[in-house]
A and B are shown apart, each in its own frame.
Chain A
Amino acid sequence: MSVLSVQRTRRACSRLLGLALLLAGNRALADSCARPTDPGGDHDYSYGAAEVKSFGTSTVRVWYVTDGVHAVNDESSRSDAVPDDVVLVAQVTSDALASYLDLGYRAPISDSSNPECGDNGGDGRLDVYLVRMQGADGMTAIDLGRCTELGGATRCASFIFAQANFAGQYATASEGIRTVLPHELFHVLQNAYDADLDRFWAEGTAQWAAKRVDPSLTDLERYLPAFFAQTSRALDAPANGVTAAFLYGSAIWPVFLSQRHGAQIVRSILEREAEAGGSSLASADAVLADEQTSLAREFALFSAWNAATGSRAGTGGYEDAAKYPLVPLTELGSAPIHDISSGLASFFYRAQVSAPMRVTLETDSKRNTGTLVPFENGVARVDRAMPLPAELTAEGIVVVSGITSNKTDAPFTLSLTSLNDDSSAAALEQSGCALVRKPSRAGPDAVTSLLLLLISISRRRRRVGQIRGDSAAATLSQSSSSLAIAASSTLKSTGFVRWSAKPASLLARTSSSVP
């Protein structure tokens, strides 16, 4: 069993903290079912000699002390003197659990199994231990002695550490409790599917899930800048303490998936991973295939949505696009831009022209794709997004997206050329769009003259050729229309472009020009 994910940590504020928790997790290999209530404690948390109390609901049991370093705020408005914060932790966690179960998520793996392993908090309820957290404000730990291998995944019983006193960390203790506990609880549920999820998916979906439980919280939005500022990082790139916020900011990926395909898609991906193992991205690709799409297509559209946020938000894209941060843009001018992608990363370029220009992308179509998000009245029209090559008539954002998790270099060249430019026409020809190429203004060369002579010999053959050409051109036109129709018809119901098969074929042809 992997030891790389013996716990999910929240707010790993520094590499040192991450190391501390990870090391603590490794120590737990020996004390695999220990708890802070045990004499030696667990994960470097021990209540010591303080009197340990608990308060619970039918599904959750909260452990706390009122003395010593781990003391909670003991203010209570209750006749039984149970601190209000403790009661709120129990209620919030129980309510969140009920919400998740209502959405169809698996129940936590009970810690009542394998009693020989050690402490389980006295019963099968989910245990929450309130402690003075070291740098973080919540952590989900795994009972390594209560894990089972099933279907390529490892399912484990878990318990939660949460901050004993949120004072000073959030505006109110209530906000801290409502922010942290649903997040950690979702990690507990994740561990009922696979305790070794990719970290971006584990943290991203925990942020997403907590937001669903309480939409009034803003923790999801708080971390988005870390993602939007680093979109050239692969979605599943490892993140250490320096870049840990990126993991939480990657919540925007499940936000996108759920708004595109419904909230159940997150659960479907977890189910897929639990059944088949493998990476979270591979599971997502499999589930998206059931939706008649693919990870490649969806990530390209995800990137397009990310271009249309904040002050750029217009038609289409995220429901709350205007509240989300902006991606940084690089100017695309007359000089081609050369860059390299790795994995599922995105690059954004702003282009503005006074006369229509063509935007082309030269790259390996199996690695990258390009999308033009046109602007109208200063805001993005995601509903009119189109694959490259595309004609830019005024202002827009060009998005280049990696479309596989392959991490080897995937170079690309992005160009803005005149519609009448021969080089532009050549690019079109290379990209498989030669049917719309305009005739050269120059006189016919020897080869062309010979062709003209041959053509003139048989008027009938020439007509056949024209018909074939027209037919093919009509096919291309139809493809473009399909895209527009798909965009407009889908927009009515969902407000986004749903790529059809034909635009996808255009995308594939774009990259045939790669040397």
Chain B
Amino acid sequence: MNKFLFGAVLLLCATGCGSDDSSGGVNGGAPNSGAAGHGGDGASSCSAARAQLLGAVDSVSTSDVSVISDTDGIVTLYVGATAGGTAAAAMNPWIFVSLEDSSKVELTDLSSIQSTAWDLALKRSLLYTNGGDGGRGEGDAALIDKEFEAVTADDAAEAKFYREQFFDAECNPIVDLTGAAATSFSAWYEYDSETHALSPHPGTWLVHGATGKLFKLRIKTYYGTPEGGTGMAGGAYVLEVGAL
């Protein structure tokens, strides 16, 4: 079985793209300097390029977000981000999730741009936060090498957060080697070239929500079910989320 760390790919991509800093981490996006993005302020100069890169389906996802369990402040969520499967994904919208409320937010790709009600957007293997080019919020993300249970708010101090930066100054897309938008979550999985399966990269994600609230997040599986079991369809996430 051959496994490859996608982060290494992004490292190569970042080098190829001439990025000056993001090569130091496994995330896509840009180190968070608090700067506004191109696509999230509603008066963007890259709104059309954003629509081309992420899609701009003007409907709400018909998939669900449901709570599998809620124990000691740790919520296990099922997020249906299958987007109708690979072939139909281009025609189906993203699903927007409130980590604060552990629920789906009824937004379209278009209306999400102006909203700070959501924290995480998901579609197939792509995730992004509500910040920078992702949205109007204060969202960003960092992957730290620490077990989920042991992560506390103090870990944020040393973490390197990445805010979504989907475009350069001229609205040219910044993409990973698959051609998809390079997001703060681009390093979340490892890929098995024999089975074509994705498995979560070890570690814990620190995520600032749209309001700036900090969460810890672990992706348990890409092939989950609403009941917490294992399924066959990709994009069926089971997430563990805890507010910090």
Contact = CB atoms under 8 A, between A and B. Distances in A.
Nearest to A199: B179
Given A16-B196, A135-B196, A408 B46 contact: yes
B198 interface: yes
A343 interface: yes
Contacts of A345: 48, 52
B148 interface: no
B86 A237 contact: no
A233 B16 CA distance: 24
B193 to A, nearest CB: 5
A408 B45 contact: yes
B178 A342 contact: no
Given A23-B193, A342-B171, A237 B90 contact: no
Contacts, number: 122
Interface in A215-240: 230, 232-234, 237-240
B49 interface: yes
Contact of A240 (B8, B51, B180): B180
Interface string B23-64: 000000000000000000000111111011100000000000
Contacts of A135: 196
Interface in B106-152: 124-125
Contacts of A17: 196
B71 interface: no
A332 interface: no
B193 A242 contact: no
Contacts of A4: 13, 16, 177
Contact of A409 (B2, B44, B125): B44
B47 A241 contact: no
B12 A343 contact: no
A238 B53 contact: yes
A242 B48 contact: no
Interface in A2-19: 2-4, 13-19
A133 to B, nearest CB: 13
A233 B52 contact: yes
B49 A239 contact: no
A23 B191 CA distance: 9
A5 to B, nearest CB: 10
A153 interface: no
A203 to B, nearest CB: 12
Nearest to B198: A16
A145 to B, nearest CB: 18
A128 to B, nearest CB: 22
Contacts of A244: 179
Interface string B67-87: 000000000000000000010
A330 to B, nearest CB: 13
A340 B12 contact: no
A3 B177 CA distance: 9
A68 to B, nearest CB: 16
A20 B193 contact: yes
A234 B48 CA distance: 10
Contacts of B179: 18, 199, 238-241, 243-244
Contacts of B173: 237-238, 407
A341 B48 contact: yes
Given A407-B167, A409-B47, A2 B175 contact: no
A409 B42 CA distance: 12
A3 B11 CA distance: 12
A242 B125 CA distance: 11
Contact of B45 (A233, A237, A242, A409): A409
A3 B178 contact: no
Given A3-B16, A19-B191, A407 B86 contact: no
Interface in A143-173: none
Interface string B140-183: 00000000000000000000000000010011110101111000
A3 B12 contact: yes
Contacts of A238: 53, 173, 175, 179-180
Contact of B124 (A3, A15, A22, A341): A15
Interface of A: 2-4, 13-20, 22-24, 26-27, 44, 134-135, 199, 230, 232-234, 237-244, 340-343, 345, 406-410
Closest 5 CB pairs of A and B: A342-B48, A240-B179, A407-B171, A240-B180, A340-B48
Given A23-B9, A234-B49, 13 more contacts: A15-B125, A16-B86, A18-B178, A44-B194, A238-B179, A240-B178, A240-B180, A241-B179, A244-B179, A341-B48, A407-B46, A407-B171, A407-B172
11 contacts: A15-B86, A16-B125, A17-B196, A22-B177, A23-B193, A232-B51, A232-B52, A244-B179, A340-B48, A342-B46, A407-B173
